[in-house]
Amino acid sequence: MLHSTEEILTRIERLLTDSPAARTSVVWCEERAGSAGHGGRARPPGQTFSRTVVVGVEEAGRTGTCAVASDDPAFLLMAVREALAAARLDPGPPWGPPPPSEAGEEGPPLHDPGLAALTPEAAAKRLAGLLEKRGSGQLSWWETRLVVADSRGLRRAAALTAGALELRWGRRAGAGHAAHAARSLAGLDPEGVAARARSRHPGADLEEGGLAPGEAPAVVLAGEAAARLLAAFSAAAFDGHAYAAGDSWLARGGGELLLSPLLDVEDDPLSAAGLPLPFDFEGRPKGRHPLLVRGRPGPPVTDAGLAARIGQAETAHALGGGAALPLHPRLAPGEESEEELRRAAEGGIWIGEVGPPELFDRVRLGTRLVARGVRRIGPGGALADPLADLGWEGELGELFGAVAGVGRESVCRPAGGGWLGGAVAPALRLSRLAGLYPLAPRG
């Protein structure tokens, strides 16, 4: 059972009063996660609950932390003592300056009663109604309480929901796929996602085609595929701590490159098109941060302590545990419809979805992935013969450098573990994409 934010704040107030440390901070996160599937290899519907309370202390300029899963006052006070011991024996990095007292821009609604009331059984029934017997899908949702407070008077609290829907229409190669994520059930638009998946399903009269050896075709990425790639690119390229260590694309020359001038990307944690979150895990108000301006990379994202150490501006991207990542990348839409993008790529291929990207080289952004829902682009930009799933290995910087067209309708995909953030992107046309190859048949 989730506590209300008011109940959590009451428990934190008691802990801050009892703490013997010169300065104490608390990040309290509770999460109820649910999922339901339909068709295919769907997992049984179910729910899980988790709680993490991270207590931080500062004493004589030394810092320490301790994480617990309990809400018991005795355990929480014990966490303070453990954090004080850590500060003496193995101190962490110094804290940055305290956050401002004002809360910042409010942003769009974060909590939806419809998603909060969803049960696994109701979700499974809704999926069955959307897909009938022709498809498969997965609906995941989260209800979260996030509270950040400290002994200097900082108080930030949010009740959040998020949902992510993925649908697949048909079982053959090139099956129709569609996905979306939102903070509300209405924003998730299940009927619209189902209609999009259905419209992408190849007809029975189409025969499965193939990719010629060494072919580097023009490619149109559906918004679902583009958003997933944008999430991977943004997190790897603009990771502040990797930049400070010199172990990132941005630190090792990526910042001097010019990607496609059609790309304007900002980390926008206040946009209703994504999964907004108005403050970071240090309680600092979030704002928009440029990642790409006409293809030119911007600075990395930071938390307060990192910003002070490397002499960069603080950008309110703390995630705790020594991480600072942009989890709200939004690629500005263009003027073209997806049909117009496909017409300009006639003879190439359309990729409806990509599997989770595997980053194997942080400096070059070397990545492997599986492309699914692949179709030939026929005359007039029509989706033609389906292709079996393809593998791809290459560099994300080169992929985004090949963007030659940007669509106008955007899709949101979760970034950072579900409810924390979302990447928003429209369909993209690539002038060519090398590194595609047929996957070996499953034995």
Task: Give the CA distances from residue 72 to residues 14, 20, 50, 65, 426, in Å, rounded to whole numbers and listed in that order.
Answer: 11, 18, 15, 18, 46
Both structure tokens of 200:
């992408």
List of residues 6+ apart from 304 with CB closer than 8 A: 95, 96, 97, 99, 282, 284, 314, 318
Give residue 363's pLDDT band: very low, low, confident or very high (50, 70, 90).
Answer: very high
pLDDT in tens, 55-72: 999 999 899 999 999 999
- Tell how strand 219-221 and strand 349-354 pair up: parallel
- Closest among 439, 379, 166, 416 to 280, alpha carbons compared: 416
pLDDT in tens, 282-338: 999 999 999 999 999 999 999 998 998 888 889 999 998 889 999 999 999 999 999
Distance CA 398, CA 365 (A): 9
**Poorest-pLDDT segment among 233-242, 305-314, 427-436:** 305-314
CA–chain centroid gap for 200, Å, is 24
pLDDT in tens, 153-170: 999 999 999 999 999 998
Distance CA 68, CA 324 (A): 22
CA–chain centroid gap for 10, Å, is 31
Distance CA 228, CA 177 (A): 14
Q: Is the pLDDT of residue 256 over 90?
A: no
Distance CA 88, CA 22 (A): 13
Q: Is the pLDDT of residue 234 over 80?
A: yes
What's the length of the chain?
A: 443
Distance CA 31, CA 54 (A): 14
Both structure tokens of 196:
């999009």
- Closest among 131, 132, 123, 107 to 34, alpha carbons compared: 123
Distance CA 18, CA 64 (A): 17
Strands (E), 89-212: 135-150, 155-169, 176-182
- Please provide residue 400's backbone torsions phi and psi, each rounded to the nearest 5 degrees: -75, -20
Average pLDDT estimate for 178-195: 97
Give residue 257's pLDDT band: very low, low, confident or very high (50, 70, 90).
Answer: confident
Q: First vs last Cα of the chain: how many Å apart? A: 45
Give residue 429's pLDDT band: very low, low, confident or very high (50, 70, 90).
Answer: very high
User: For position 104, what pLDDT does the model report?
Assistant: 64
Phi-psi region of 307 (alpha: psi -120 to 50; beta: other; left: phi over 0): alpha
Q: To 5 degrees, how large is the angle CA 229–CA 368–CA 259?
A: 45
Both structure tokens of 414:
């979760």
Identify whether the C-beta of residue 174 lies closer than 8 Å to the C-beta of residue 350: no
Both structure tokens of 40:
């295919």
Q: If you search the block for the tokens 């030119």, which residue do you land on?
A: 296
If you ran DSSP here, which 8-state letter would residue 61 be given? T
Distance CA 352, CA 332 (A): 20
Please check whether the domain covering 5-173 is classified as CATH 3.30.2290.10.
yes
Distance CA 308, CA 282 (A): 14
Burial 29-45 (b: 16+ CB within 10 A, else e): bbbbbbbbbbbeeeeeb
Residue ranges covered by each domain of the chain? 5-173, 202-438
Q: Is the pLDDT of residue 81 over 50?
A: yes
- Tell how strand 421-430 and strand 219-221 pair up: antiparallel
Give residue 103's pLDDT band: very low, low, confident or very high (50, 70, 90).
Answer: low
Average pLDDT estimate for 138-166: 97
Distance CA 234, CA 269 (A): 14
- Closest among 231, 204, 255, 274 to 369, alpha carbons compared: 231
Contacts of range 78-83, beta carbons closer than 8 Å, 24 or more positions apart: 79/53, 79/55, 80/15, 80/18, 80/19, 80/20, 80/21, 80/24, 80/55, 82/55, 83/21, 83/55, 83/56, 83/57
User: For position 321, what pLDDT does the model report?
Assistant: 80
> What is the percent of the chain where pLDDT is above 70?
97
